[in-house]
Amino acid sequence: MKIRKNVCLVGLVAVSITACTPQKTIKKTETVKRVQKNNSDTSDNKKTNSADVSYKKEYMLHIGGFDFYKKNIADITKNDNTESYGSIVSAKPSGYMVTKNYFPSVAQNFRQRFLILHYTALNNDKSISTLTEKGVSSHYIVGDPNDREIYQIVDENKRAYHAGISYWRGFENLNDSSIGIEIVNPGYVLYEGRKQFFNYPEWQYRKIAALAKDIINRYNLSPVNVLGHSDIAPTRKHDPGPKFPWKRLYNEYKIGMWYDEATKRNLLNQIDAESFYAQSTTAPFILKIQSMLGEFGYKIENSGELDENTTKTITAFQYHFRPENCSGIMDRETYAILQALLLKYPR
Ligand SMILES: [Zn+2]
């Protein structure tokens, strides 16, 4: 159950107080007025500890024994401009009462940093039974019926088991810090030794976009942290695959990353085809592309060799950013795209 209201962003009341010397550092506005009023008021109010009153906040709603946020407690100064509504999970210590009189502290933010997209490679019913009854899960399932429904199977504040061993830009085990969306899509079939992936229908794309947009906005997720499973586990995973419409999501919904076309074209024009292919299998060049892929976000070893992990990582990069040719070979086009992305999304 969630309570949502369209309350505009509420700046946290100016209770700029240090833990050791609260009264001295109270700054201004509402808090000070309330303290002064209490000091000069009736005897009833005089009994009240003015410092306690100044800390009290009225952010809570109590319904049926549960506490809910009634205002947005996000703090834009901490890059937290999400909407913080909903129920609160609290301790219920025997013989004591946990109150929310001083709730919330300004020193908090969200644990969610990533949005990870998957395909299930199963049909709708099997996707639901697997993700709800076995050892894997996600927060949401976007099924394949063309309707208005999206299934939630894990609370956003809890960890779902969708990412496995994973890494991106210094973060590991992304189950800890991500929201996972599983999309019902058959994945791929092997045809003459090559993977043939399946399209995402238009209506499913719209559902994914609306869901992703909502999550990204609420947690203020960085575009560089909106990823596919293959980005965070390139040696193990292919999902959501090269048919996933990353470019359209970027162009139409401003979701995730995409390179600047003009920048890419300029970079491509600067790459001489002959010398590029002459050096493409040399150790210094391979080291360079490994370090560029590592810089961009992937977990990759700088081996200086075109080993299996490097080829898989290049393939994962192509699934996302060069879906027309997922060869695992760093061709000129892929190289120019990688350079353009590094310029646009530096670490
Ligand atoms: Zn996956």
Domain residue limits at 133: 120-253
Q: What is the CATH number of the domain that holds 318?
A: 1.10.101.10
Q: Is 182 annotated as catalytic? A: yes
Q: Say if 115 falls within a structural domain.
A: no
If we measure between CA atoms, which residue out of 276, 142, 278 comes closest to residue 204?
142
At 111, the pLDDT band (50, 70, 90 cuts) reads: confident
Q: Is 195 left (phi over 0), alpha (psi -120 to 50) or beta?
A: beta
Over residues 95-105, mean pLDDT: 82
Over residues 109-114, mean pLDDT: 88
Looking at residue 61, its pLDDT comes to 74
Query: What is the 282 CA–ligand 1 centroid distance (Å)?
Result: 33
Query: What is the 236 CA–ligand 1 centroid distance (Å)?
Result: 9
Domain tally, the chain = 4
Separation between Cα atoms, residue 316 and residue 159, nearest integer Å: 25
Other C-beta atoms lying within 10 Å of the C-beta of residue 307: 14
Which of these is catalytic: 30, 172, 182, 324?
Answer: 182
Enumerate residues 6+ apart whose C-beta is below 8 A from 24. none
Residue 22 corresponds to which tokens in the numbers above?
Answer: 């609260």
Domain boundary among 225, 253, 281: 253
Considering the domain architecture, whether residues 237 and 307 belong to the same structural domain is answered as: no
Q: What percentage of the chain carries pLDDT values higher than 70?
A: 76
Contact (Cβ atoms closer than 8 angstroms) between residue 207 and residue 249: no
Separation between Cα atoms, residue 88 and residue 80, nearest integer Å: 18
Q: Say if 28 falls within a structural domain.
A: yes
Q: Say if 303 falls within a structural domain.
A: yes
Considering the domain architecture, whether residues 282 and 340 belong to the same structural domain is answered as: yes
Q: Say if 326 falls within a structural domain.
A: yes
Over residues 299-311, mean pLDDT: 97
Over residues 190-198, mean pLDDT: 95
Q: Say if 114 falls within a structural domain.
A: no
Separation between Cα atoms, residue 317 and residue 328, nearest integer Å: 9
Q: Say if 181 falls within a structural domain.
A: yes
Considering the domain architecture, whether residues 237 and 192 belong to the same structural domain is answered as: yes
Query: What is the 266 CA–ligand 1 centroid distance (Å)?
Result: 35
Considering the domain architecture, whether residues 297 and 281 belong to the same structural domain is answered as: yes
Q: Say if 125 falls within a structural domain.
A: yes
Domain boundary among 222, 253, 284: 253
Considering the domain architecture, whether residues 248 and 265 belong to the same structural domain is answered as: no
Over residues 91-111, mean pLDDT: 82
Considering the domain architecture, whether residues 86 and 181 belong to the same structural domain is answered as: no
Query: What is the 303 CA–ligand 1 centroid distance (Å)?
Result: 27
Q: Say if 278 falls within a structural domain.
A: yes
